[in-house]
Amino acid sequence: MKAIEDFTLIGKTVLRREDSYLMRGKAQFLDDLPEPKGLIHLAFVLSPYACADILSVDASAAKALPGVIDVLTGKDLVGDIKTFAPVIEIEGYRDVRRPVVAVDRVNFVGEYVAVILAESPYVAQDALDLVEVDYDPLPAVAGIEEAEAAGAPVIHSHLGDNHIFRAAFETEDFDARFAEGDLVLEEEFRNGKTAGGMIEPRGCMAWPDPVATNFTLWTPTQIPHIVRTAIADHLDIPESVLRVVAPAVGGGFGTKAHVFPDELIVVALARRYGRAVKWVQDRRESLLTNMHARGHILHIKVSVKQDGTLCGVYLNLKTNCGAYPNHPYSPTLEATGCARMLPGPYRFQTYRYDVSSLITNTCPTGAKRGTGQPSAFLAIEGMMDRIGRRLGIDPAEVRRRNTVRPEEFPYVNVVGVRYDTGSYLPSLERGLEMIGYDAFRAAQPKDRLVNGKYRGIGICNYTEVSGTGAPGWRVRGFAKMPGFDSSRVVVEPDGKITVYVSQADAGQGHYTTFAQIAADRLGVACEDVTVVEGDTSKTPYGTGTFASRGSVVGGGTVIRCSEKVGVKIRRIAGYMLDADPERLVLKDGRVADPEDAGRSLSLREVAETAYSMNNLGLPQGEEHGLEATDYYDPPMVTMANGTHVVQVAVDPEDGRVEIERYAVVHDCGRVINPRIVEGQVHGATVQGIGEALMEEIVYDADGQHLNANLLDYLMPTAMDVPELELDHIETPSIDTVGGIKGAAEGGLTGAVPAIANAVGDALSGLGVNITRVPLRPSSVFEQIRRACTEKEGRA
Amino acid sequence: MILEGETLIPANRRIVWKALNDPEMLRACIPGCKSLDRQSDTDFTASVRAAIGPISATFGAKITLSEIEPDRGYTISGEGKGGAAGFARGKARVDLEDETGGTRLRYNADVNVGGKLAQVGSRLIQGTAKKLSEEFFGCLSEKLSGASAPDKAAPPSAPAVAPGRWLVWGALAIVVVIVLGWWIAG
Amino acid sequence: MSAKKVTVRMKVNGKEYVREVEPRYLLADFLRHELQLTGTHIGCEHGVCGACTVLINGKTGRSCLQFAAALDGAEITTVEGIAGDGPLHPVQEAFHDAHALQCGYCTPGFLMTTIEFLQSNPNPDRGQIRQALTNNMCRCTGYLNIVDAVEDAAKRMREGACGA
């Protein structure tokens, strides 16, 4: 067996095999799949009200339209699909279920009210205009504060109020220890609701067999196995009759890591009508009804010593759940995630948090790249700067004094999460060095005004939860989240290798990286490995691709599984070569005996023996075939880390924030493919720039969604992106297989606080206090104007 | 959202009043208007067919008058449902004054929209409402300047309506234009 | 509502097609569903994201905003027409080498934009490249590798032109 350091392909940039068919326009995304005969196209009637009773639905005109097959309301589907809800078992969580199509009441703008079945998508759209729904509008609540106010309308009456989740945590003697500090600072931070914003809108297509007892669901999902379990459960069908396939997926970012009502509906209708059923959303629906994210209010108090070290932290976090809990995570994902991730790279051991999630009349919120982390670090990193400003200590130095030191690893943080390895201080120092931090600070005037613009620098030192295993999910109440992922590695009779992985790629390059891993472990060329995933009928069960788990858990299982097959290859080859299997080496597609230089076998020759395609026979007790299956449940979590250092210029004339320099240091443990990791860091960082400076889903006080289009929901373009200066530190995990840590989310987590802090630093001379993202020009301009007016007033 | 505007109708009160008593003329001047009917002294319904790109639907509005100050102004509340396109709720204060060269009409409307109109049309609402208002007043002014010629002064088919009623129709038309402007923007 | 169909003649990727379609049928749907050229993707249906960009008579256009019937007689190039099954076009090679695509959904639009852009500006600087690429949205890559790829493609094409 090769030692873990013996990697030949792991750690090398291998260009992606996916690219060719994607660039030739040959990839098959959901809407590119060939359409079966007799396909029914769906369109959903969406609620225009945030809260209303449905008095009547008159579909007679729609049904009369040629090409319309049927129009169904929520009532019509009650017998087909159970009310929809995630399974969450944690104290403080209260069950809320939803009909997949509203029955008596709508609770957010965009909620499905009726479904049209038509022979073509154009006719389905025509029919939408002909369905007359009579609503009785009711008062709506869109914001957290409105939802928890006394006398607020209660959205789900069985709850009694609008809280769906509350949790609290407190370390021993919290009050006494918190009181040991020399001063207490507090602040309230907020972020807007945002969207995953993948360029491919969602859609799905269910395909029944001729007797409508077996179904295939094509859906661009990051979690095909979880989708299958949820559908089987809610439709009361055996999991064995349902196959879920993720075709090419046009970006996921967590949004596509949910189970959606429409996925249940297409399968139910395929069963009901015995025909294939397809639905594809447009951009408006995508921004209106796919999961939103963030929308948090974080009230944080820190107790500090005069030297800037933290004595204790208190967090009160409120999250906006939207009208219903998302499936499968519920709002506890963001709430507990944020609170538990807030300690980050810091050493404090006194912590208390109170979190609550509130039901509002808005689209449900759920997972999006970074989950609670961009919020958590907006708060804790924002406080690091405030501590520095208050005590006259450089903010970088404040961080140094609080960061877990290299000799303290493995370190158990205040909420009990183990940090096995990390480069927290080296990463911070490297980031500062790259940006020329000390020189910038030395040259920075007190009023921060240089050539007509306010210039500042911001830091975010972060940890990144990745590769969460079953224990990590259980502790947060996710009773049905498997946590493990799995693979099956097959050496085919011709010696070529097929790797089946329980993951689902949405652009991460799995078809290349998992091939690299298997090829590395089995001593073959990448080209000899085919990767299959995103299909529940082909791969063993698993959790899927989200929360920076693909490389850790998917990669880990492929390493383990390949090595398992390697053992059998050596056994059979040892028998064929009459050599000790232990000493055989897999290299260059052959099995060689290093103690007998001339003797080796091709993998094909070994496979032919395994598959009984020669006259050699197998050693006694050996089974035919040459494959292995592996289920890998990683530790609770593994922590990646990194540092973002950003230099900005704020134009007081228009409030525009220009990013002048941007340094990223990134440590995701063992790197499988550096180019792909770099791509993940770029992409996540730019999404973070979006969250920091422009992206926000806007609801008015009545719960009307005001920007369900890409002209008004602003995402970064090529003109909004600075050149990123990127450096890697590689500190392999000692807990995960292969030393791998996750890489996909840290960019976003680092960017939002770093940019907010940079703007805060730039405007600190004016007394502007940056507490809310996005920092759109209008809001920055307004804050500058207000600060200047106040200053003049005082003068 | 607050929408404000004013216009000078280039005709004297008598001619304006008579013309505005003619529902046919209002129907002709409200862009896309199919019908405009009085249900009671203070309640009206209107129906407008609008087509913008792929969106095409018939929008129905219910409008109620209140705070009526004869010859001076009214508050008009309008609510309209446009099916898949969404809905709009508006309230407008309309005031009239004599002025050299005609009659000055001022309006101040507060309008809320919902559904598709809000989601994809928010940025277009102000501009579209303005454009439609201009179209409406332009049409009205044009017809009234024509009508001021001696022989055409009295519309032949004007129903017998109590004096002051023209204001109702005029104000109604403005609200319909404003409210439906939002739909069309969607 | 469905209307009387009209005849549309179009030359797509060098091949003549004649189809009967509704006047409201979008070019994107025409290419994708009538001609099965599904490489052109729809991302927003309101002309912002650029995923559906194709070349219409040599100029980039949003296939989600144009009616097929209005383009009777037009010559269209889609992503399938860039290299067919043959060797990759230099722009495609550059995208591959620079890791300028991840999920690849937006990529056909970027390729079409880049091909037109480099024809009009064979030696652009990074600022010009960024400006040209604002017509297209990518949510995966953060654009930097795409800018690198366009820069590299320009170089390859200039060198290729000299070599020829």
Reduce the secondary structure of A318-350 to three states and give it as a string.
EEEEECCCCECCCCHHHHHHHHHHCCCCECCCC
Q: By three-state DSSP, how is residue B134 classified?
A: helix
Which among A537, A481, A539 is positioned nearest to A240, based on CA atoms? A537
**A712/B123 Cβ within 8 A:** yes
- What residues of B are in contact with residue A50 (Cβ under 8 Å)? 114
Option in A25, A126, A506 nearest C103 (CB):
A506
- What residues of C are in contact with residue A688 (Cβ under 8 Å)? none
Burial class (CB in 10 A: 0-12, 13-18, 19+), B52: middle
Distance CA A342, CA A523 (A): 42
C41: tokens are: 């993707």
DSSP track, A535-584: BTTTS-----S-TT-IIIIIHHHHHHHHHHHHHHHHHHHHHHHTS-GGG-
**C96, C139, C141: which to substitute to probe chain A, counting the most A Cβ within 10 Å?**
C139
**C134/A31 Cβ within 8 A:** no
Option in A67, A716, A718 nearest C147 (CB):
A718
Which among B24, B4, B2 is positioned nearest to B139, based on CA atoms? B24
- What residues of A are in contact with residue B57 (Cβ under 8 Å)? 129
A499: tokens are: 């790797």
- Start-end of CATH 3.90.1170.50 domains in chain A: 33-138+202-280
The verdict on C157 and C92 lying in the same domain is: yes
- What residues of A are in contact with residue C83 (Cβ under 8 Å)? 24
Task: Give partners of B (≥3 CB pairs < 8 A).
Answer: A
pLDDT (0 to 100) of residue C99: 98
Domain count, chain C: 2
3-state SS record for A293-322: EECEEEEEEEEECCCCCEEEEEEEEEEEEE
| Residue C43 counted as domain residue | yes
Q: Which residues of A touch B (CB under 8 A)?
A: 45-50, 109, 125, 128-133, 284, 287-288, 700, 702, 704-709, 711-712
What's B41's domain CATH number? 3.30.530.20
**B49, B122, B125, B183: which to substitute to probe chain A, counting the most A Cβ within 10 Å?**
B122
The residue in chain A having the minimum alpha-carbon distance to the alpha carbon of residue B56 is A129
User: Cβ(A280)–Cβ(A30) under 8 Å?
Assistant: yes
Q: How far is CA A92 from CA A164, A167, A354, B52, in A?
A: 8, 6, 11, 49
Option in C38, C48, C102 nearest A679 (CB):
C102
The verdict on C71 and C92 lying in the same domain is: no
Distance CA A343, CA A712 (A): 35
User: Cβ(A23)–Cβ(C84) under 8 Å?
Assistant: no
The answer to whether A42 contacts chain C (CB < 8 Å) is no
pLDDT (0 to 100) of residue A132: 92
DSSP bridge partners of A42: A117
Give A 665-684 residues with CB within 8 A of chain C. 675-676, 678-679, 682-684
CATH architecture designation of domain A4-26+484-632? 2-Layer Sandwich (3.30)
Q: How far is CA A384 from CA A211, A399, A458, B179, B181, in A?
A: 64, 7, 11, 51, 50
Structural domain that includes position C17? 6-81
Option in A18, A199, A679 nearest C106 (CB):
A199
The residue in chain A having the minimum alpha-carbon distance to the alpha carbon of residue B59 is A129
Distance CA A749, CA A684 (A): 8
**B119/A705 Cβ within 8 A:** yes
The answer to whether B119 contacts chain A (CB < 8 Å) is yes
The verdict on C106 and C126 lying in the same domain is: yes
**A201/C137 Cβ within 8 A:** no
Q: How far is CA C123 from CA B186, C117, C136, C146, in A?
A: 42, 10, 20, 16
- Is ipTM over 0.85? yes
**How confident is the model over A689-720, as pLDDT tens digits?**
999 999 999 999 999 999 999 999 999 999 99
Option in A287, A705, A711 nearest B123 (CB):
A711
**A288/B119 Cβ within 8 A:** yes
Give A 197-226 residues with CB within 8 A of chain C. 197-201
Last residue within a domain, chosen from C81, C112, C137: C81
The answer to whether B127 contacts chain A (CB < 8 Å) is no
| Nearest-CA distance A697 → chain B (Å) | 10
**How confident is the model over A320-371, as pLDDT tens digits?**
999 999 999 999 999 999 999 999 999 999 999 999 999 999 999 999 999 9
**C99/A15 Cβ within 8 A:** yes
**B120, B123, B124, B182: which to substitute to probe chain A, counting the most A Cβ within 10 Å?**
B120
**A711/C46 Cβ within 8 A:** yes
Structural domain that includes position B40? 2-185
DSSP bridge partners of B9: B103
- Start-end of CATH 3.30.365.10 domains in chain A: 4-26+484-632, 292-470+635-794
Residue written as tokens 């040599």?
Answer: C58
| Nearest-CA distance A655 → chain B (Å) | 21
The verdict on C58 and C100 lying in the same domain is: no
| Nearest-CA distance A746 → chain C (Å) | 14
Distance CA B114, CA B98 (A): 37
The answer to whether A25 contacts chain C (CB < 8 Å) is yes
The residue in chain B having the minimum alpha-carbon distance to the alpha carbon of residue A110 is B115
Distance CA A457, CA A755 (A): 8
How big is the A-C interface in CB pairs under 8 Å?
A: 186
A734: tokens are: 């000692």
| Residue C137 counted as domain residue | yes
The answer to whether B84 contacts chain A (CB < 8 Å) is yes
**B79, B119, B124: which to substitute to probe chain A, counting the most A Cβ within 10 Å?**
B119
- What residues of A are in contact with residue B114 (Cβ under 8 Å)? 48-50, 109, 702, 704
Domain A33-138+202-280 has CATH 3.90.1170.50: yes
pLDDT (0 to 100) of residue B15: 67
The verdict on C116 and C56 lying in the same domain is: no
pLDDT (0 to 100) of residue B181: 47
The verdict on C64 and C24 lying in the same domain is: yes
Task: Give partners of A (≥3 CB pairs < 8 A).
Answer: B, C
The verdict on C20 and C74 lying in the same domain is: yes
**C34, C46, C101, C105: which to substitute to probe chain A, counting the most A Cβ within 10 Å?**
C105
- What residues of A are in contact with residue B120 (Cβ under 8 Å)? 284, 708-709
The residue in chain C having the minimum alpha-carbon distance to the alpha carbon of residue A287 is C44
How many Cβ atoms are within 10 Å of A434's Cβ, its own excluded?
18
Which among A745, A248, A243 is positioned nearest to A541, based on CA atoms? A243
| Nearest-CA distance A713 → chain B (Å) | 10
Greater confidence (B44 vs A564) lies with A564
User: Cβ(A779)–Cβ(A467) under 8 Å?
Assistant: no
How many Cβ atoms are within 10 Å of B156's Cβ, its own excluded?
6
| Nearest-CA distance B66 → chain A (Å) | 22
Q: Assess whether pLDDT exceeds 90 at residue B128.
A: no
Considering chain B, what is the average pLDDT of its residues?
69
Domain A292-470+635-794 has CATH 3.30.470.10: no
- What residues of C are in contact with residue A717 (Cβ under 8 Å)? 133-134, 137, 143
DSSP bridge partners of C55: C60, C77
pLDDT (0 to 100) of residue B37: 84
Q: How far is CA A111 from CA A103, A141, A362, A633, B42, in A?
A: 11, 15, 9, 37, 35
Sheet holding A449-450, edge to edge: A449-450, A453-466, A638-650, A657-667, A725-728
| Nearest-CA distance C164 → chain A (Å) | 25
User: Cβ(A246)–Cβ(A222) under 8 Å?
Assistant: yes
| Residue ranges for chain A with pLDDT beneath 70 | 1-5
Distance CA A104, CA C162 (A): 71
Q: Assess whether pLDDT exceeds 50 at residue B149.
A: no
Distance CA A418, CA A426 (A): 19
Q: Assess whether pLDDT exceeds 90 at residue C78.
A: yes
| Residue C1 counted as domain residue | no
**A122/C24 Cβ within 8 A:** yes
**A108, A705, A778: which to substitute to probe chain B, counting the most B Cβ within 10 Å?**
A705
Instruction: Spell out the alpha helix ranges (H) of A392-464.
Output: 395-402, 424-435, 437-443
The residue in chain C having the minimum alpha-carbon distance to the alpha carbon of residue A509 is C102
Q: Assess whether pLDDT exceeds 80 at residue B91.
A: yes
| Residue C34 counted as domain residue | yes
Q: How far is CA A149 from CA A142, A153, A161, A324, A685, in A?
A: 12, 9, 10, 19, 36
| Residue C38 counted as domain residue | yes
What's C137's domain CATH number? 1.10.150.120
Q: How far is CA A737 from CA A101, A466, A676, in A?
A: 44, 13, 19
**C85, C135, C140: which to substitute to probe chain A, counting the most A Cβ within 10 Å?**
C140
Last residue within a domain, chosen from C81, C98, C128: C81
Last residue within a domain, chosen from C35, C64, C81: C81
User: Cβ(A506)–Cβ(A222) under 8 Å?
Assistant: yes
Domain count, chain B: 1
**How confident is the model over B6-32, as pLDDT tens digits?**
888 787 766 665 665 566 777 788 777
Option in A125, A132, A708 nearest B120 (CB):
A708
What's C23's domain CATH number? 3.10.20.30
